[in-house]
Amino acid sequence: MKSIRIGAGLGFYGDNWEPVVATLERGNVQFIASDHLAELTLAILQKDRQRDPALGYARDVVPMLLRLWPLMAERGVRFVCNAGGLNPNGAAQAVLAAFAAKGLTARVAVVTGDDVLPQLFDASKPADDLAHLFTGEPLAGVRERLVFGNAYLGAQPIVQALDAGADIVITGRVADAALFLGPLVHSLGWTLTGAMAQADLDRLAQGLTVGHLLECSGQGSGGNFGSQGAWQAIPDLAHMGYPMAEVWEDGTALITKAPGTGGRVNFDTVRQQLLYEVHNPHAYHAPDVVLDMGHITLHDEGYDRVRLTGARGQAPGDQLKVVAGYRDGYKAEVTWGFSWPDAWDKAQAAQATIRTQLLEKRIPHDELYIEYPGLNSAHGALAPLPDADALNQLNEVWTRMVLRTPVKAAADGFGGLFPWLALSGPAYTCGFHGLHNTSELLGIWPTLIPRAAVEAGVRVELLQGTAP
Amino acid sequence: MNTGVDMTDKVRVPLARLAHARSGDKADWVDFGLFAWNAAGYALLEREVTAERVRAHFMPWLGRDLTGKVDAWLLPNLLAIKLVLRGALQGGGARNLRLDNLGKSMAGALLRMEIEVTPFELAQALATPRVGWWGEGAP
């Protein structure tokens, strides 16, 4: 039975591409799919685009491909990524320019049409359209403050690009797993558009599961293995192998990784990734299929070999998920340390001086958020603190103070409340940073949008790389 | 036989003794996968880790923000429980003032949750071989 092998690229903007080299050299893959866009990444890219309209894409795709494309090209490996972010054409132009400078060539396809911000701005729509997916609140309350809004496209435009002969496919927002499902559908001849037969839907569900298991790079092969006392059994984190999969025509899949790499692919590490960022596991909604994980079997077949079967699919609905972002005020944060003796009490006295200044100077703010890195910043009130005497015997106490304010000038001035206290505040301050530390906060607006209105605007364009 | 311990008296153990977990975020919701190492451990999680108890566990920390119920789904095929906590991230990662703005470490906070089991049940869950295959150097 025909099968193909596909490997994981990045799991987020800023991830390490060096582990992909082992996949290419020893993994015998035909595709690499690379997910550069976490839920918040478009917020970062939007700030880039504000500074320079030519930006707005995940810039790491350029050095990544300069390193990996020669290895891919000589093996005939094709590459799919969503590094286009808010500007897929910009990403493609940057890649082609960098390739031209190095004498590299590739047929690059660009997928656009995920940007639905104009539709979100359209205030003529009924008030309950585009309501917040979780809270049901109407969009009107934040519409004026929207800065991006993108629909999660499915695998179809990726299939179209690969069918047209693209070596490299660059998209904006697509469902993360669609980056993997696209090559599977293209290569294995699966029915995608309008799939209704149960066998077709189950194959798509298997393919979606493969994508979901591979889209977070090392997290699918033993990275971030949350446990007490078991993570130590994951070998050689310094040389982590990213997960890859062999997928057969009938949808059966084997999750594995390149020989000689670190990490571990087994029942435990794979199921941690399977449920990652999933809500209802019986109805995991993707643009191409709705996945039920309730009958999935993960079977260990030896070191770093897990057989995946049993994913069940249902036909998707007529809406696509959108994630939009809106301006939601500012924060400024300061971290300030005091040493033994009485470090805890001095931290409290220092906070009091800040609260007094905020009050007396009438600095507008919604919240002064305080936590103690090293004591409770990870688990808040669930982290047991020592008693007062023991707190004052600690070697040092660090306080992180964050101001939330709707007024940018208030955030900009926050750090300036601190420096004079080095001479006039409690003794033995052992570090301060955050004098200039304002950043804009964004609210995230997940919602649904009619599929047809988005898909009518999706474009796949094949660009020809310059010949050497 | 008198072991000196009444094997039917309940003891409190943190989930970390019996399970592993990962957390993720979508907007303002944190989700957890909670995984037993074997079927004996799963039977204890299934009995003890209810949506209501998970909500109560997080209340002292997140009570001000927690909205709605906690969702829980049992997945015996994966020896797992899927949990979703609404209103756990101060409105979402890009406006959350916490150092851990995405809740990456929140699964650790879930593993602090204590459940009540008998010493016999605990011993059985710990002694039963783990389902996942780790080969040499098993944890």
Q: What CATH number should be reported for the domain holding residue B118?
A: 3.30.1360
| Cα of A281 to nearest chain B Cα, Å | 7
Is B5 part of any domain? no
User: Residue B126 pLDDT more than 50?
Assistant: yes
What element of type H or E holds B84?
strand B80-85
- Could you tell me which chain A residue has the CA closest to the CA of B112? A382
The rounded distance, in Å, linking the Cα atoms of B99 and B101 is: 5
**Minimal C-alpha gap between B66 and chain A (Å):** 12
Element of type H or E holding B119: helix B119-127
| Angle (CA) B73 B76 B82, round 5° | 30
Judging contacts by C-beta atoms under 8 Å, the chain A residues touching residue B131 are 267
Domain count, chain B: 1
> What is the least distance, in Å, from the CA of A107 to any CA of chain B?
35
DSSP 8-class letter at A237:
G
| Nearest CA among A254, A257, A180, A248 for reference residue A220 | A257
Query: Where are chain A's structural domains?
Result: 3-114+152-317, 327-444
Which residue in A134, A271, A300 is closest to B35 by CB distance? A271
User: Alpha-carbon distance A181 to A205, whole Å?
Assistant: 9
CB-nearest partner of A40 from B84, B86, B93: B93
Residue showing tokens 């799963």: B42
Which DSSP state fits B70? P
Nearest to A275 among B61, B80, B102 (CB): B80
CATH of A327-444, one of 3.30.70, 3.40.50, 3.40.1350, 3.30.67: 3.30.70
Give the closest-approach CA distance of B127 to chain A in angstroms.
15
Place of tokens 């599961």: A209
Give B-chain residues touching A325 at CB under 8 angstroms.
94
DSSP string, A136-158: ---GGGTGGGEEEEEE-B-SHHH
How many angstroms separate the Cα of A60 from the Cα of each of A17, A63, A66, A246, B32?
Answer: 9, 6, 10, 27, 30
DSSP class of B50 = -
Which residues of B fall within a CB distance of 8 Å from A147? none
CA-based nearest residue to A234, from B134, B104, B126, B19 = B134
Q: Please name the residue of chain B whose CA is at the shortest distance from the CA of residue A324.
A: B27
Tens of pLDDT, residue by residue, chain A (468 residues) = 999 999 999 999 999 999 999 999 999 999 999 999 998 899 889 989 989 999 999 999 999 999 999 999 999 999 999 999 999 999 999 999 999 999 999 999 999 999 999 999 998 887 778 999 999 999 999 999 999 999 999 999 999 999 999 999 999 999 999 999 999 999 999 999 999 999 999 999 999 999 999 999 999 999 999 999 999 999 999 999 999 999 999 999 999 999 999 999 999 999 999 999 999 999 999 999 999 999 999 999 999 999 999 999 999 999 999 999 999 999 999 999 999 999 999 999 999 999 999 999 999 999 999 999 999 999 999 999 999 999 999 999 999 999 999 999 999 999 999 999 999 999 999 999 999 999 999 999 999 999 999 999 999 999 976 543
User: So what's the pLDDT on residue B64?
Assistant: 84
Per-residue pLDDT at B139: 80
The answer to whether A134 contacts B29, with C-beta atoms less than 8 Å apart, is yes
Placement of tokens 């990045």 in the chain = A10
Q: What is the pLDDT of residue A139?
A: 95
Residue B135 belongs to a domain? no
Distance CA A166, CA A168 (A): 5
Question: Does residue B8 belong to any structural domain of this protein?
Answer: no
Whole-angstrom Cα distance, residue A199 to residue A285? 18
- Calculate the alpha carbon distances from A7 to A129, A289, A298, A301, A413 in Å: 39, 22, 19, 19, 48
Exposed e or buried b per residue across A137-172, where buried means at least 16 C-beta atoms within 10 angstroms of its C-beta = eebeebbeebbbbbbbbbbbbbbbbbeeebbbbbbb
* Chain pair A-B, CB pairs under 8 angstroms: 180
pLDDT of the residue at A39: 84
The overall average pLDDT reported for chain B is 94
Record the pTM.
Answer: 0.96
Tell me the pairing of strands A168-171 and A107-112. parallel
Contact A153, A175 (CB under 8 A): yes
Q: Closest approach of chain A CAs to the CA of B42, in angstroms?
A: 14
CB contacts of A383 in chain B (<8 Å) are 109
Q: Which residues contact A452 (CB under 8 A, 6 or more apart)?
A: A318
The band of B1, judged by pLDDT with boundaries at 50, 70 and 90, is: low
- Note whether A276 contacts B17, CB cutoff 8 Å: no
Whether the per-residue pLDDT at B120 is higher than 70: the answer is: yes
- With CA atoms as reference, report the closest residue to A219 among B101, B92, B137, B24: B24
Task: Please give, rounded to a whole number of angstroms, the shortest distance from the CA of A300 to a CA of chain B.
Answer: 6
| Cβ <8 Å between B22 and A226 | yes
How far apart are alpha carbons A91 and A34 in whole angstroms? 14
**Environment class of A369 (CB within 10 Å of its CB; exposed 0-12, middle 13-18, buried 19+):** middle
H-helix segments, A165-297:
178-188, 198-214, 267-274
Interchain pair B97, A402: CB under 8 A: yes
> Helix or strand or coil: residue A220?
helix
Instruction: Please choose, from the candidates B34, B56, B38, the residue with its C-alpha nearest in 3D space to the C-alpha of residue B121.
Output: B38
Cα distance between residue A391 and residue A347, in whole Å: 11
A233 in Cβ contact with B139 (< 8 Å): yes
Pair A375, A317: CB distance under 8 Å = no
Q: What is the pLDDT of residues B68-83, one digit of tens each?
A: 789 999 999 999 999 9
Report the distance separating Cα A167 and Cα A24, nearest Å. 15
| Closest residue to B132, CB basis, from A267, A274, A331 | A267
Structure tokens at A347: 């931290």
Report DSSP state, residue B133: -
Angle (deg, nearest 10), helices A178-188 and A156-163: 50
Per the structure block, which two tokens stand in for A415? 């750090």
pLDDT for A193 equals 93
Q: Coil, helix or strand for A204?
A: helix
Per CB-CB distance under 8 Å, the chain A contacts of B20 are 225-228, 230, 268, 272
* Helix segments in A76-197, DSSP class H: 88-102, 117-121, 156-163, 178-188
Average pLDDT over residues B131-136: 91
Task: Calculate what percentage of chain B has a pLDDT beyond 90.
Answer: 85
Nearest-5° Cα angle at A446, A441 to A447:
140
pLDDT on residue A124: 86
Residue B98 has pLDDT above 70, yes or no: yes
Give the residue from chain B lying closest to A228, CA to CA. B16
CA distance A421 to B39: 58
Query: Smallest CA–CA separation between A402 and chain B, in Å?
Result: 7
Domain annotation covers residue B134? no
Of B73, B107, B108, the CB nearest to A280: B73
**Structural domain harbouring B109:** 19-93+103-127
Residue of A12, A225, A268 to mutate, interface with B, max B Cβ within 10 Å: A268
> For residue A468, what pLDDT is reported?
38
